[in-house]
Amino acid sequence: EPEVTQTPSHQVTQMGQEVILRCVPISNHLYFYWYRQILGQKVEFLVSFYNNEISEKSEIFDDQFSVERPDGSNFTLKIRSTKLEDSAMYFCASSERAGNEQYFGPGTRLTVT
Amino acid sequence: GENVEQHPSTLSVQEGDSAVIKCTYSDSASNYFPWYKQELGKRPQLIIDIRSNVGEKKDQRIAVTLNKTAKHFSLHITETQPEDSAVYFCAASRSPGNQFYFGTGTSLTVIP
């Protein structure tokens, strides 16, 4: 069964540094998402992406964040200047079409020191 | 925006008993309600979902009910087993955009 994959599984970075989190959605899926989960808290929506543009974003997704689909398979989340409070598990998800179930990747644990 | 509340935050049941987790939502336009199971350190996995055009859906030991008028939906797990122990999240969404609004999670422990 196809799965969403994410790399790296764990990323440690210093405050102020840029990080790029990578995701490979399921191949025939058209909608892509990033969520984050701070330890012990609920999963929070960051951004959705369709047809090479952002379709929706939350208040969390400020100017420090950006997303890109650089080729036909990867979907990336960039944080330009990381803050301590960006430490969280970041999940990528994809769905075949809007209104359908979303399949989550295994997550990237980001630790900002 | 949508606000999803989930109760209880923790739940312990004896193996073989039933477990019920409840969620409420605020946006009457929400029309899709998935439930995810998240084991420690792993990805959330969809276990069941329901759309607003039905009131109940069942898949073996798992069922979900939806009351659109009251804006609440519930997860029912019967004949619980130790491997059901995990954190369960409800969510609500509506198109366009289709972002999921998650509840705060319920940590279910099934005691052998």
Residues of A at the B interface, defined by Cβ within 8 angstroms: 31, 33, 35, 41-45, 48, 55-56, 58, 91, 95, 98-99, 101-107
Q: What distance in Å separates the CA atoms of residue B66 and residue B33, rounded to the nearest whole number?
A: 9
B34·A31 Cβ contact <8 A: no
B34·A102 Cβ contact <8 A: yes
Residue B96 banded pLDDT, cuts 50, 70, 90? very low
Residue B95 banded pLDDT, cuts 50, 70, 90? low
What is the predicted pLDDT for the residue at B94?
82
| Residue B48 forms contact with A (CB below 8 Å) | no
The amino acid occupying position B107 is S
As a whole-number percent, the residues of chain A with pLDDT over 90 amount to: 81
What is the predicted pLDDT for the residue at A62?
94
- Ranking A2-16, A57-71, A90-104 by mean pLDDT, the lowest is A90-104
Q: Helix, strand, coil proportions of chain A in percent (round to 5)?
A: 5, 50, 45
Q: To the nearest whole number, what is the mean pLDDT of chain A? A: 93
For residues A86-107, average pLDDT: 90
What is the predicted pLDDT for the residue at B79?
98
- Ranking A29-33, A108-112, B11-15 by mean pLDDT, the lowest is A29-33
Question: Which member of B43, B95, B103 has the closest CB to residue A91?
Answer: B43
Q: What distance in Å separates the CA atoms of residue A20 and residue A36, rounded to the nearest whole number?
A: 14
A33·B95 Cβ contact <8 A: no
Q: What distance in Å separates the CA atoms of residue A10 and residue A6, rounded to the nearest whole number?
A: 10
Provide the Cα torsion A67, B92, B2, A35; round to 10°. -20
Q: What distance in Å separates the CA atoms of residue A80 and residue B98, rounded to the nearest whole number?
A: 26
Q: What distance in Å separates the CA atoms of residue B108 and residue A111, rounded to the nearest whole number?
A: 27
Question: Which member of B42, B45, B100 has the closest CB to residue A45?
Answer: B100
B31·A35 Cβ contact <8 A: no
Q: What confidence tens digit (pLDDT) does each residue in A11-60 have?
A: 999 999 999 999 999 998 999 999 999 988 889 999 999 989 998 899 99
Q: What confidence tens digit (pLDDT) does each residue in B68-83 have?
A: 999 999 999 999 999 9
What is the predicted pLDDT for the residue at B53?
83
Q: What distance in Å separates the CA atoms of residue A84 and residue A66, rounded to the nearest whole number?
A: 18
Strand spans (E) along A2-52? 5-7, 10-13, 19-24, 31-37, 43-50
For residues B98-107, average pLDDT: 91
Question: Which member of B32, B43, B105 has the closest CB to residue A42?
Answer: B105
Report whether A110 contacts A91 (CB < 8 A). no
Buried b (16+ CB within 10 A) or exposed e, A88-104: bbbbbbbbeebebebbb
Q: Is the pLDDT of residue B97 over 60?
A: no
